[in-house]
Structure 1
Amino acid sequence: MRLGNVQRVTTDGTMELSVTVTSEDGASADRLWYRFPERFADRVTDALDPFVIAALFASIRRGEDLHAAGPVTATLLDNLEEFQAAWAQWRPGRYTPIRVTADQELPDREGPDDRSAIQTFSGGVDSAFTTVRHVRRTAGRSALNLTGAVMVHGFDIPLTDTEAYESLQRRSTPLLATVGVELIPVATNFRELWHSDLADWEDAFGTGMVSVLTLFSGWYRHGLIASSEPYGSLLLPWGSNPMSDWMLSGGRLRVHHDAAGVDRSDKVAGLSVAWPEGADNLRVCWQGEHKDRNCGRCEKCIRTILNFRVAGRPLPKAFGQDVTDEQIRSLRGLSEAHINPLRQILATAREKGVKDDWTVALEEAVRANEDELARGVSYAGGFPQLATGPAAA
C-alpha cells in the first residue's frame, strides 16, 4: 500500500486533510480523510504519522507493505515493528507483519517537554475519569497538562448520524470548558473505509483513536487513551491495551494508556465526587437508537448503572431510570469482552460483602452467557441483545 501526499482543502471554515491510499498492485485506491474546524489548523503535524497509523491494520490484514510518500518520524517506524510483532502473536491467522517505510524519516521533536496533552473524549466513564484525574492533578507523577480533547464522529456514532453527534458536541463542549479542556470535533471515514466489520473494528479502534490524536501533534506532546480494563482483568487481544498502545508513539507525540490501575467501579466513584457534572452528562451507550444519550437497556448502559450501584454512589442524571433484575437476567449475546466487565462488578460486590437480588441476577446472566459462548451460540448481527422490557421507574 502507498500513502500519497496530504491534500488540504478548506470549505466554509472546515479543513479536510486527506491522502489517497493505493493498493500494492495499483488496482484499487481509497481516500482516507479527517475534517475539523479550520481554527485548529495550526495544531496539525507536518508528518504523515497519523495516516501511517490509520493505514496499518488494513495493510497487515492484506499482508501488503506500507510506504508513505512524505515524512514520517523514525521513532514511529521503530515502534510499529514492535506493535506488529505483538498483533502477529495475538492473531497469527489474521495479520502478517509488513515493512513500513517513508520517503523521509524525521527526528524527534526538539526542546523541553512542556507535558502538554490531548485526549480522546467520548463522554463515557473511562474518558471522563481520565479528564478529571489530569486536570485535578490526582494522577501522581503521571499527571499531564491536559488542555485538549478530540471527539470523533465516525467511530461509535456513524457519519450518517449528524444530529446525534452535534447534540453530543453541544453538550460536551461547555462541560469540558468548565475544567479548562478545549474540545476539538473531528470527523473521519477511518472506520467506514476499512473497519466496518465489528471484528476488524475491535482490533483496530485503538489505531483510529491514536491517529486522530497524532493529527494534532504539531501542538501537543502527549496523547491520552483512557483504559477500558484494569490491569487485574486485562482482555487480550483488544484494540486498546496497556501492552501495545505505547507502541503507537511517534517522534512528535508520546501515547499513554491511562488509568489501568483503577477499576471501573472506582472510576465512577471518583468521578461522581470529583466531577459530578461529568457523571451527570455521561454518554456510554453505543447500541441505543439515539447515540447522544443512554438507552438504559444495552449491556454498556446496564453495566455502568451497576458500576454506580456496587460503588455505593447514586445513579447520575445521565440515566433516567434504573435497571431491573429481570433486565439483568435477560442480557444475551455477550462476547468475552462484554462478560469480563460484569465479572469485575461481581468481584467488587463480593469484596464488599454485597449479596442482593441484583447480584444473583448478574451471576445468572454471566453463567448463561459463558455457557452460550462455550457452545458457540450466536445471535443476529453478532451484537449483544438489548435487555427486554422498559427500564424501571
Structure 2
Amino acid sequence: MRIAPVRRSAADGRLTLSCEVSHKDGTVPDLLWYRVHSRHEEYLTDVMDPFLLAALFVAMRKGEDLHVEGPVTAQLLENLEEFQAAWVQWRPEKYTAVRLTADREVPNRDRSAGRSALQTFSGGVDSAYTTIRHVKKAAGRGSYELTGAVMVHGFDIPLEEVEAYDTLYTRSIPLLQGVGVELLPVTTNFRKLWHSDLRYWEDAFATGMASVLTLFSGRFEHGIVASSEPYGSLVLPWGSNPMTDWMMSGGRMRIHHDAAGVERSDKVAALAKLWPNGADNLRVCWQGEHKDRNCCRCEKCIRTILNFKVSGSPLPASFPLDVTPDQIMSLRGLSEAHVNPLRQILVTARRRGLTDEWVTALADCITANEDEIARGITYEGGFPQLALTGDEA
C-alpha cells in the first residue's frame, strides 16, 4: 500500500485534506479525507502522521507493507512497530505485522515545558469527565493545559446525518466555552471508507481518534483520549486501552489514555458535582433515531442511567426518561465489551447494599447475555438490541 502526498482544497470556509491510498492488488485507490474549518489551518500538522495512523489497520488486515510518500516522524514509525506486535498477538487471525516506511523520516519536535492539550469530545460521560478533570486540575501531576477539543462527524454520527451533528456541535460550543475549551469540528470518511463493519471499528476506532488529534499537532503537543474502562475491569482486545494508546504517539504529539483509574459511576458522580451543565448536556447514544440526543432505550443509554442510579446522583436533564426493570431485562445481543461495564455497576450496587428492583433486573440481564455469549448466539447486524418500549413491555 502507498499513501500519496496530501492535497489541500478550500471552499465555503472549510479546508479539506485528502490523499489517495493505493493497494498492492491494483484495486481502485481509496480517497481518505478530513475537513476542518479554515480558521484552524494554522493548527494543522506539517507531517503525514495522521494519514499513516488512519491506514494502519487496513494494511494489517490485507497484510500489505505500507509506504508514505511524504514526511513521517521517526517516533511514530518506531511506536507503531510495538503497536502492531500487540494487535497481532491479540488478533492473529485478523492481522499481520507489516513494514512501515516513508519518503522522509523527521525527528521529534523540540519539546518545551508546554503542556498544551487537545482531547476528543463526543459529549459522552468519559469525554466530559476528561474535560472537567483537566480544566479543574483534578488529575494531579497528570493535568494538562486543556484548551481544545475535537468533535468528529463520521464516527458515531454517520456522515449522512448532517443535521444531528450540526445540532450537537452547536449545542456543545457554549458548553465548552464556559470552561475555557475551544471546540474544533472535523468531518472525515475514515469510518465509512474502511471500518463500517462493527468488527473492524471496535479494533480501529482509537487509530481514528489519534489520527484526528494528530492532525492538529501544529498547535497542540498532547492528545488526550478518554478511557472507556477502568484498570480493574479492562476488556482486551479493545480499540482504545491504556496498553496501546500511547503507542500512537509520534514526534509531533504524545497520545494519552486518560482516567483509567476512575470507574464510570464515579465519573458521573463527579460530573454531577463539578460540572452539572456538562451532565445536563451529555449525549451518549449512538443507536437511537436522533443521534444528537439520548434515546434512553439503547444499551449505552441504559448503562449510563444505571451509572447515575448506582452513584446516588439524580438523572440529569439529558436523560428525560428513566428505565424500568423490564426494559433492563429485555436488553439482548450484548458483547463482552457491553456486558463488562454492566458488571461493574452490579458490583458497585452490591457493595453499596442497594436492593432496588433494577439491581435484580440487571443481574438477570447480565446472566442472560453471558449465556448467549457462551452459546455463540448473535443478532442480526451484530448490534445490541434496543430495550422494549413502554407499550411493548
Q: How would you bin the TM-score normalised by the shorter chain?
A: over 0.9
Structure 1 Cα separation of the partners of residues 333 and 339 of structure 2: 10
What letter corresponds to residue 238 of structure 2 in structure 1?
W
Structure 1 Cα separation of the partners of residues 326 and 229 of structure 2: 26
Q: 1:233 to 1:71 in 2, by over 3 A?
A: same
Match of residue 62 from structure 1:
62
Match of residue 388 from structure 2:
388
Deviations 1:178-220 (A, max 9, x none): 0000000000000000001000000000000000000000110
Deviations 1:293-314 (A, max 9, x none): 0000000000000000000000
Structure 1 Cα separation of the partners of residues 80 and 257 of structure 2: 16
Structure 2 Cα separation of the partners of residues 187 and 333 of structure 1: 30
The alpha carbon displacement at 1:28 in A equals 2.5
**Kindly, what percent of the aligned residue pairs are identical?**
67
Counting only pairs closer than 5 Å after superposition, residues 14-29 of structure 1 correspond to structure 2 as 14-29=14-29
Structure 1 Cα separation of the partners of residues 272 and 367 of structure 2: 30
Match of residue 323 from structure 1:
323
Deviations 1:335-383 (A, max 9, x none): 0010000000001011111122110000000000000111111111111
Match of residue 348 from structure 1:
348
Counting only pairs closer than 5 Å after superposition, residues 258-337 of structure 1 correspond to structure 2 as 258-337=258-337
- What secondary structure sits across from 2:156 in the alignment? coil
The alpha carbon displacement at 1:391 in A equals 9.5
What letter corresponds to residue 53 of structure 2 in structure 1?
I
Give yes or no for the alignment of 1:182 onto 2:182. yes
The alpha carbon displacement at 1:12 in A equals 1.2
Structure 2 Cα separation of the partners of residues 271 and 145 of structure 1: 19
Counting only pairs closer than 5 Å after superposition, residues 45-56 of structure 1 correspond to structure 2 as 45-56=45-56
Counting only pairs closer than 5 Å after superposition, residues 1-393 of structure 1 correspond to structure 2 as 1-390=1-390
Structure 1 Cα separation of the partners of residues 48 and 157 of structure 2: 26
What letter corresponds to residue 317 of structure 2 in structure 1?
K
The alpha carbon displacement at 1:26 in A equals 3.6
Structure 1 Cα separation of the partners of residues 110 and 247 of structure 2: 20
- What secondary structure sits across from 1:67 in the alignment? strand
Structure 2 Cα separation of the partners of residues 208 and 221 of structure 1: 18
Structure 2 Cα separation of the partners of residues 201 and 254 of structure 1: 23
What letter corresponds to residue 92 of structure 2 in structure 1?
P
What letter corresponds to residue 228 of structure 1 in structure 2?
S
Q: 1:324 to 1:136 in 2, by over 3 A?
A: same
- What secondary structure sits across from 1:203 in the alignment? helix
Contact 1:67 1:101 in 2 (8 A): yes
What letter corresponds to residue 43 of structure 2 in structure 1?
R
- What secondary structure sits across from 2:334 in the alignment? coil
The alpha carbon displacement at 1:321 in A equals 1.3
What letter corresponds to residue 333 of structure 1 in structure 2?
G
Structure 2 Cα separation of the partners of residues 321 and 202 of structure 1: 28
The alpha carbon displacement at 1:50 in A equals 0.2
Deviations 1:87-142 (A, max 9, x none): 00000010000000000011111141310000000000000000000001111000
- What secondary structure sits across from 1:319 in the alignment? coil
Structure 2 Cα separation of the partners of residues 57 and 252 of structure 1: 21
TM-score (structure 1 length as normaliser):
0.99
Structure 1 Cα separation of the partners of residues 83 and 27 of structure 2: 28
Contact 1:8 1:16 in 2 (8 A): yes
What letter corresponds to residue 3 of structure 2 in structure 1?
L
- What secondary structure sits across from 1:239 in the alignment? coil
The 10-residue stretch of structure 1 (27-36 or 55-64) with the greater mean CA deviation from structure 2: 27-36
- What secondary structure sits across from 2:243 in the alignment? coil
Aligned residue pair count: 392
- What secondary structure sits across from 1:256 in the alignment? strand
Structure 1 Cα separation of the partners of residues 119 and 390 of structure 2: 35
- Ranges of 4+ aligned residues in structure 1 off by more than 2 Å: 25-28
Contact 1:113 1:221 in 2 (8 A): no
Structure 2 Cα separation of the partners of residues 214 and 261 of structure 1: 25
What letter corresponds to residue 313 of structure 2 in structure 1?
R
Contact 1:323 1:391 in 2 (8 A): no
The alpha carbon displacement at 1:165 in A equals 0.2
Structure 2 Cα separation of the partners of residues 378 and 58 of structure 1: 25
Contact 1:321 1:391 in 2 (8 A): no
Contact 1:269 1:308 in 2 (8 A): yes
